[in-house]
Each structure stands twice: as structure tokens, then as C-alpha cells.
């Protein structure tokens, strides 16, 4: 894509940061409220004052400061970090996309993948509404990309590759359900579509990188005694990082 597309995508990513942070707070606080009795969904965990809109709880942006207006407590991811990460990821996929519809599919995975990674990192959970939306969005945009480029057969090949990756993660879950969750299996379907659209090589590379990054992080945490041998790492963030790296280095 051209430079204006890259800049526009980066700006879109930055603008999506505040709603993404509120989405993270919505799902994390809902999980905490269910598991530990903390105020769920839209209240500050410290003073219990409402922070998110009651009508659009996950879509309403958090305060720019990232702090509760009532008590000043930090809420959700650090401000500007989410915006910066999303903006950079959007610029990267825009630079690698070969068409507007391919960019739309990649952007869908990025804009839903960032909150998924943050939520998984916080509470080891990949919410079904987000994984389902990512799969539906990526599939729809790639279908249009295949039809507009007169490559209908490519969509079938992409679906086969995505199914192979999903079956691989499902097999891992069946063998060792304590090692990953079904959310990882569901997320693999969206990642499989994106990487499968590129090539088998991208599919294998992205998957391999995900496990290498997870293993490296585990070694570092063990070495610094921030985790024990029985600790479980969230796999979702590494799956998404591996996919992003594969997109960055392998052409669409």
C-alpha cells in the first residue's frame, strides 16, 4: 500500500486506542467481578464509581489520563501505550497489504487482536465475542479480496490452511488442556486465515514463532523468579505476535 494508506492506518490505530482500553477494562473487570467479588464491568476497582458508560460499556473511551476521575486510580492499560502499539501494528500491516481488502482483513485482526492480547495477559481469557468477531471479519474481508481479485480458489486454500492450524491447536488442547484454553483454539482460526492467505510457509513460521516467543518469555520469568515451573503463560499474545512477525517478513 502507498504511504497515505500507511499513515491513515496508523492514525486509525491511534484513534482506536481509547475504545480498546475501555474494552479491556470491561472484560477484565467482568472476569474479576465474577471470580473475586470486585465491581464488574464499568466501575473503578478502587472507589466503585462508574467509569464506563452504562449504555456503551465496552465501546466508550476511558479518560485520556487512564485514571478514575473520582479517585485518580489507574484503570486498565497505561495510556498511550495501547494507542502506540495499535498504531504501529496498523502501519505495519498497511505496509505489507497488497490491496484495500487485504488491509481490511489484517486491520480487523489487529484491532481485535490488541484487546484480546491485553485481556489474555491480564486474566488468561479470550472472550468469545471478540474471537468470533475477529474470525467473521477476517473471513468476510478475505472473501471479498478473493472475489475482487478473481482468485476464488485462493479462499478455499486459505480455509484449508486455517482448518489445519485450528486442528493443530485443538489437538494440543485435547492432549494437555491445562496448557492452553479453548480461546486459543478459537483465536487460531482467525490467525490461520490471515497466515493461510499468505502461504503455508507463513502459517508454519507464525506458529513456530508463537511457541518460541512463549518459551523465551517463560525462561526469562523463571530466571528472574517471577514465575514458577507450574505457572501458566497466556498463549494468545504470543500467537498474535508470531502472526504479526510472519506478516511483516513474508509477502502477501
74 and 108 in one domain? no
Same domain, 84 and 120: no
- Judgement on whether residues 129 and 221 belong to the same structural domain of the protein: yes
* Mean pLDDT score, 152-170: 96
**76 lies in the same domain as 109:** no
Q: Measured between alpha carbons, how far is 244 from 185 in angstroms, rounded to an integer? A: 18
80 and 62: one domain? yes
What's the pLDDT tens digit per position in 80-122?
Answer: 889 999 999 999 999 999 999 999 999 999 999 999 999 999 8
Q: 237: how many CB neighbours lie within 10 A of its CB?
A: 21
Are residue 105 and residue 36 in the same domain, yes or no?
no
Same domain as 215, residue 104: yes
Q: Which domain holds residue 34?
A: 1-96
Q: Please say which residue of 96, 123, 140 terminates a domain.
A: 96
The CA angle 193-198-200, to the nearest 5 degrees, is: 85
**Are 86 and 26 part of one and the same domain?**
yes
65 shares a domain with 126: no
Q: Are 84 and 104 found together in one domain?
A: no
Question: Of 96, 125, 150, which residue sits at a domain end?
Answer: 96
118 and 72 part of one domain: no
Locate cell 473487570: which residue? 29
Encode pLDDT of 219-251 as tens digits. Answer: 998 888 887 777 788 999 999 999 999 999 986
Residue 64 reports pLDDT greater than 60 = no
Amino acid at each position: 500500500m502507498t504511504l497515505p494508506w500507511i499513515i491513515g492506518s496508523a492514525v486509525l490505530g491511534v484513534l482506536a486506542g481509547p475504545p480498546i482500553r475501555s474494552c479491556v477494562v470491561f472484560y477484565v473487570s467482568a472476569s474479576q467481578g465474577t471470580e473475586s467479588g470486585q465491581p464488574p464491568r464499568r466501575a473503578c476497582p478502587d472507589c466503585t464509581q462508574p467509569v464506563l458508560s452504562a449504555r456503551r460499556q465496552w465501546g466508550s473511551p476511558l479518560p485520556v489520563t487512564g485514571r478514575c476521575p473520582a479517585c485518580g486510580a489507574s484503570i486498565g492499560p497505561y495510556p498511550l501505550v495501547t494507542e502506540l502499539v495499535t498504531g504501529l501494528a496498523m502501519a505495519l500491516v498497511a505496509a505489507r497489504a497488497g490491496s484495500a481488502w487485504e488491509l481490511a482483513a489484517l486491520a480487523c485482526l489487529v484491532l481485535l487482536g490488541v484487546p484480546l492480547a491485553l485481556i489474555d495477559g491480564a486474566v488468561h481469557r479470550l472472550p468469545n465475542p471478540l474471537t468470533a468477531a475477529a474470525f467473521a471479519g477476517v473471513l468476510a474481508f478475505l472473501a471479498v479480496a478473493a472475489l475482487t481479485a478473481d482468485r476464488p480458489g485462493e479462499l478455499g486454500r486459505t480455509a484449508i490452511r486455517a482448518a489445519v492450524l485450528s486442528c493443530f491447536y485443538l489437538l494440543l488442547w485435547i492432549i494437555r488442556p491445562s496448557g492452553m484454553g479453548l480461546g486459543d483454539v478459537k483465536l487460531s482460526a482467525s490467525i490461520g486465515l490471515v497466515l493461510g492467505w499468505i502461504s503455508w510457509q507463513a502459517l508454519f513460521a507464525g506458529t513456530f514463532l508463537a511457541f518460541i516467543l512463549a518459551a523465551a518469555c517463560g525462561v526469562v520469568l523463571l530466571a528472574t523468579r517471577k514465575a514458577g515451573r507450574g505457572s501458566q503463560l497466556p498463549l494468545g499474545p504470543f500467537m498474535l505476535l508470531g502472526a504479526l512477525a510472519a506478516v511483516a517478513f513474508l509477502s502477501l
